[in-house]
């Protein structure tokens, strides 16, 4: 039986267009003026929306670059949980990252956003804080895969932190290579550095 794909409503399409316009405007201004020097008022004015409307779409200025990290964290956890039971914990995490890498942005946009995050200390701090929440969220999922029933067992946290560190190292290298390197290869190389 074929399930019909639900078409977005006019309101949903309008909302998506507004979000896209605000994001494009914000990223352009951040690249031109710097993140710290760009105000919400400037972004709203340039995008043709009120500040109130902008905050209806984005909870904070950092969300314009870092995106909805809570939603991405839920997507990562769901992707890891959906891996077959015989998949190793590390492979399940890697599969989860593969899902979120392509979730919201084109490679070109992901490169622009990653440059901003790594070049702006306040953005990078927000990014790291949110990623630490992702790690904590994944602990029970990975502990179950590892059959680690003792909450004091450090192995799930160690594995999660290692995979996250390798993903971040690969992403930084990808930015340095101006997006011309294969991020999966960079990740594999980062992982090799700590396993040999």
Long-range contacts (CB closer than 8 Å, 24 or more residues apart) made by 20-28: 21/47, 21/48, 22/47, 22/49, 22/54, 22/57, 22/58, 22/64, 23/64, 26/64, 26/65, 27/64, 27/65, 27/109, 27/112, 27/113, 27/116
The tokens for 149 are: 């029933």
Q: How far apart are CA 140 and CA 156, in angstroms?
A: 8
The answer, yes or no, to whether residue 10 has pLDDT greater than 80, is no
* pLDDT given at position 171: 93
Burial 46-77 (b: 16+ CB within 10 A, else e): bbebeeeebeeebeebbbbbbbebeebbebbb
Max Cα distance, the chain (Å):
54
**Residues 123-179 pLDDT 10s:** 999 889 989 999 999 999 999 999 999 989 999 999 999 999 999 999 999 999 999
Pairwise CA distance, residues 90 & 160, whole Å:
8
Which residue has 């992702």 as its token pair?
134
pLDDT at site 107: 82
Residue 29 has pLDDT above 60, yes or no: yes
What pLDDT was estimated at residue 1?
A: 46
The string of pLDDT tens digits covering residues 32-81 is 999 999 999 999 999 999 999 899 888 889 888 887 777 888 999 999 99
The model carries a pTM of 0.81
């Amino acid at each position: 039986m074929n399930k019909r794909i639900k078409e977005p409503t006019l309101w949903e399409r309008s909302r998506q267009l507004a979000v896209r316009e605000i994001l494009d405007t914000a990223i352009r201004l951040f690249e031109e003026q710097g993140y710290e020097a760009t105000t919400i008022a400037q972004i709203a004015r340039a995008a043709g929306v009120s500040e109130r409307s902008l905050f209806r779409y984005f909870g904070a200025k950092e969300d314009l670059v870092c995106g909805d990290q809570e939603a991405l964290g839920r997507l990562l956890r769901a992707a890891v949980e959906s891996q077959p039971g015989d998949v190793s914990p590390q492979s399940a995490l890697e599969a989860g990252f593969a899902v979120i890498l392509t979730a919201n942005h084109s490679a070109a946009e992901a490169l622009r956003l990653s440059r901003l995050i790594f070049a702006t200390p306040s953005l990078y701090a927000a990014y790291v804080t949110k990623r630490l929440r992702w790690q904590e969220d994944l602990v029970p999922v990975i502990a179950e895969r590892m059959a680690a029933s003792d909450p004091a067992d450090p192995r799930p946290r160690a594995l999660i932190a290692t995979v996250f560190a390798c993903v971040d190292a690969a992403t930084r290298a990808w930015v340095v290579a101006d997006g011309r390197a294969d991020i999966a290869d960079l990740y594999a190389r980062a992982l090799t550095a700590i396993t040999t």
